[in-house]
Amino acid sequence: MLADVLQYLRCPICAEPLTETADGAALRCPAGHSFDRARHGYVNLGIGRMPHPGDPAPMVSARAEFLTAGHYQPLSAALAVAAREAYPGRGLVTDVGAGTGHHLAQVLDALPGAAGLAIDVSKAALRRAARAHPRADAVLCDVWRGLPLVDDAVGVLLNVFSPRNGAEFRRVLRPDGAVLVVTPTRHHLAELVDPLRLLRVDPAKDRRVAARLAGFAPAAVDVAEAPLTLGHDEVATVVGMGPSAWHTGPDALAGAIAALPDPLTVTLSVRVTTYRPV
């Protein structure tokens, strides 16, 4: 475990500091609670059974290929710019709902010297996130059960299409830190909405995000847009990365995708909002 990350971790059971065993195989607190490091590099700091196992290995693999192909590079670039402007020079760069750690790695490239932490519930994703960047570590936990971080640990918190626990974000964020929230605009993947019967972006999305982030105020907003040329497999992947994956039957979705042109140009359109504590 990187020392620059370990100093900010706390036991998820008793909130005491964690130290690493001599062989690096586990983290322990003074009360005797112990957490093994998986052979893939991440540490499970979850409490009890996870309510959802997160993305399975095939889905994670497809998403990794999609991101590596550069389709969401405009999103990563916008995050990196926002992070450079917001980072106070101290504290972790933490990605809550990090997936493979792709966006976190690009933000760390833009912040030389900063240490990063990827947090997710998917073991398959964390296997990749644990090696996404030499200045990043990865832990498994459920954001709704609390983050295994000390107070004021985070300089910049990334939240990309992921759950938002505003109270925990406020607790772990430094007073001079920022939360960077990525949400879709109404134009995002608009070319796929009707033919694939996808969920539309809720017109009240911004208000719902703000309600989740009580104790924060928006300080800056940027919109990243770009055309994406996708094959059918990539269309299936990008749909699986959004909420429609849980509302559309796989057979019906596959049939609708097969009827689309191959390849197809669709629109990436996301909003990157910088929130500051108030």
* Structure confidence by residue, pLDDT tens digits, 201-257: 888 888 889 889 989 999 999 999 999 999 999 999 998 887 765 566 788 889 999
φ, ψ dihedrals at 50, nearest 5°: -70, 135
- 69-to-102, 132, 158, 230, 240 alpha-carbon distances in Å: 12, 15, 21, 10, 16
253 or 177, higher pLDDT: 177
How far is C-alpha 83 from the geometric centre of its chain's CA atoms?
Answer: 14
- 215-to-1, 137, 278 alpha-carbon distances in Å: 32, 28, 6
Give the pLDDT score at 245.
58
Q: What percent of the chain has pLDDT over 70?
A: 98
Q: What distance separates the 2 farthest-apart alpha carbons in the chain?
A: 60
Pairing of the two strands 264-277 and 173-184: antiparallel
Q: Which two tokens stand for residue 89?
A: 């020079």
53 or 149, higher pLDDT: 149
Start-to-end Cα distance in the chain: 33
Strand order in the sheet with 26-28: 19-20, 26-28, 34-36
Average pLDDT, integer, range 160-189: 95
Least Cα distance to 125 among 162, 90, 93 occurs for: 162
Contact (CB, 8 A) for 260 and 171: no
**What is the Cβ-side half-sphere exposure of residue 152, based on CA atoms within 13 angstroms?**
5
Give the pLDDT score at 1.
84
Give the pLDDT score at 247.
64
**Does residue 258 surpass a pLDDT of 80?**
yes
Q: What is the pLDDT of residues 26-45, one digit of tens each?
A: 999 999 999 999 999 999 99
Q: Which residues are CB-contacts of 52 (< 8 A; sequence separation ≥ 6)?
A: 121
**pLDDT averaged over the chain?**
93
Global pTM value? 0.94
**Does residue 276 surpass a pLDDT of 90?**
yes
Give the pLDDT score at 118.
98
Ordered DSSP codes for 128-150: HHTTS-TTEEEEE--GGG--SB-
119 or 202, higher pLDDT: 119
Triad 18, 278, 159: Cα angle to 5°: 55
How far is C-alpha 56 from the geometric centre of its chain's CA atoms?
Answer: 16
**Does residue 49 surpass a pLDDT of 90?**
no
φ, ψ dihedrals at 33, nearest 5°: -70, 135
Residue type, 41: G
